Structure 1
Amino acid sequence: MNSVRSHKVWLAALAAVVLALSGCSASVSLGGGGISQSDLERESARQLALDPEREPEVRCDGGLDNEVNATQKCQVHTAGNWVDYTATVTSVDGNNVKFNIKADDPAQVSGDAGTDSAAEPSEAPTAEAKSALEQNLNRSLQETTGSTPDDLRCAGPLDATVGAEQQCALLDGTRWLPVTVTVTGVQGDDIAFDWEVGTEAIPEPAY
């Protein structure tokens, strides 16, 4: 079966984001009368990321009005969990709206919450969440092929074990193609994987 492969993808890129998000306050100026939901999510992810190539996944309940102290609830995906954040408009100057976004409970991001929790999970890598796998795989496909799939889904998380596999699928126009993701290396919190795209169309996946 013909395939396309990539050999340099590190899932734990999002692990660095965890440190950047801890107690982080970001501010950005956008043009227009207020900030749309998509702009708020995109700009928040960019501002919260320690590395511009390692942006967290952000989802917000809506956009931000162009009024000082207007707020919007968001969630940021980090370390396999969704953490509550609040975006707040700090100033409005003509068409420019500035806002900051902070964790409602910074301890959830820094890992200080839950003092009774065991330390063992930090000593070994854990499975990469399904959403993080999809995000990293989508980025790798774009960087390698020069185009982004119309849709991308994975059946579940990827275990931090060399040789572990996970089934995904991408939509190319009207065709769904199978994608097999295989762990090739584990270093500390980092998980490296290969992906292989099949050429024979499959039914739309149920996952």
Structure 2
Amino acid sequence: MRTVTLALCCAGLVLGGCSANVEVNRQIAKADLEKGIADALQQSVGQRPDSITCPGPINAKQGEQMRCELAAGSTKYGLTATIKSVDGSNAKYDVQVDPKPSS
């Protein structure tokens, strides 16, 4: 029940200031992106989602976007991660959770 509350609390939520280290090939690895999103959600709403699933790495280039999925219990939400800036080996991105569940 608590995890469903997490999903409902973060619906429509926009998280700024998430960051990840960029690999030499100028990508944020899939696992690093998923962990960064989960960490930001936990910090913002006080609970960690059951999982964050992204389709792969994201290019560390300003404006790049990736659609991912947040799972909390049996409820799933889509979310969009957008690269806001890249400075050396640090990329900052925003995360916007869809306002309605996908399932």
Shorter-chain-normalised TM-score: which range?
A: 0.7 to 0.9
Percent identity of the aligned residues?
Answer: 25
Q: CA deviation at 1:153?
A: 0.6
Q: Distance in 2 between matches of 1:3 and 1:185?
A: 22
User: What stretches of structure 1 move > 2 A for 4+ residues in a row?
Assistant: none
- Structure with more strand by fraction: 2
* Residue equivalent to 1:188: 88
Structure 2 residue identity aligned to 1:128? I
The two structures, once aligned, show a CA RMSD in angstroms of 1.7
* Residue equivalent to 1:161: 61
Q: Distance in 2 between matches of 1:135 and 1:173?
A: 18
* 1:128 counterpart = 2:28: yes
* 1:11 counterpart = 2:20: yes
What SS does the aligned partner of 2:32 have? helix
What SS does the aligned partner of 1:202 have? coil
TM score, norm. by length of structure 1: 0.42
* Aligned positions, number: 93
Q: CA deviation at 1:155?
A: 1.3
Q: Distance in 2 between matches of 1:168 and 1:201?
A: 13
TM score, norm. by length of structure 2: 0.81
Structure 1 residue identity aligned to 2:78? P
- Greater RCO (CA < 8 Å, at least 6 residues apart): 2
Which structure is larger by alpha-carbon Rg, 1 or 2?
A: 1
Q: Distance in 2 between matches of 1:130 and 1:150?
A: 16
